Amino acid sequence: SQGPGKVKFLTSSDGGNFEETTPWRSSERSESAYVETVMFGAPRSVKSLTIAMRMPLTSGYFGLRNVALLVEPGPMMLVAGAAPQGEELCLVSSAGALNAEGCLDAIAAGAGREIFYLNSASQLVSAGDGKCVSLEHAGAANGGELLLRDCASAAAADDGRSTFELTPAGQLKLQSFGGLCVVA
């Protein structure tokens, strides 16, 4: 990919109405291919991002190979992949347990069982019942089992079983225990 001579960013919080986030600006780099980090002046709620480019460099062409957004974690659905029938599976909390269910069914139920968020202690909290995901029965052979626990008691254990992070690849990983990732 070739870098553009000028670029500007527009964001939309609803996916349809865009506002200019950064005005046209020239790149500080002269190479044809480079990595550039652009920070907005303040946190923004972004559903859609538009990157406008103009003034191609010497080749007459420009383009992007990759764009990555740095975001604050908020409410999220944890999608495990596709079932044999082709439907995506989501992690849901149900009667104090964790299960993988069809995402469309979980959303249609309207109970919020498929919504999770990371709290300030990096615990994964079920928005539906306020309980935290914790690794139990951990072992090197099987990795353990994820269960829902009271957030305060999980944090008080102070053993890292209930602290998670999102990786740049979109995986949910335990901060302790050798960086085990959550899989269905």
Identity (one letter) of the amino acid at 7?
V
Reported pTM: 0.60
User: How confident is the model at residue 151, as a pLDDT?
Assistant: 93
- Residue found by looking up tokens 């859609």 in the block: 48
Per-residue model confidence as pLDDT tens for the chain (184 residues): 577 888 899 998 888 899 999 899 887 777 777 777 777 877 778 888 899 988 876 777 788 877 777 666 678 888 876 566 677 888 999 888 898 888 888 888 888 889 999 898 999 999 988 999 998 876 545 667 889 999 999 899 888 889 988 877 778 888 887 777 877 6
Decide: 121 and 171 in contact? Cβ < 8 Å.
no
Diameter of the chain by CA atoms?
Answer: 62
User: How confident is the model at residue 140, as a pLDDT?
Assistant: 46
User: How confident is the model at residue 82, as a pLDDT?
Assistant: 59
User: How confident is the model at residue 84, as a pLDDT?
Assistant: 65
Burial class (CB in 10 A: 0-12, 13-18, 19+), 143: middle
User: How confident is the model at residue 18, as a pLDDT?
Assistant: 93
User: How confident is the model at residue 142, as a pLDDT?
Assistant: 64
User: How confident is the model at residue 138, as a pLDDT?
Assistant: 66
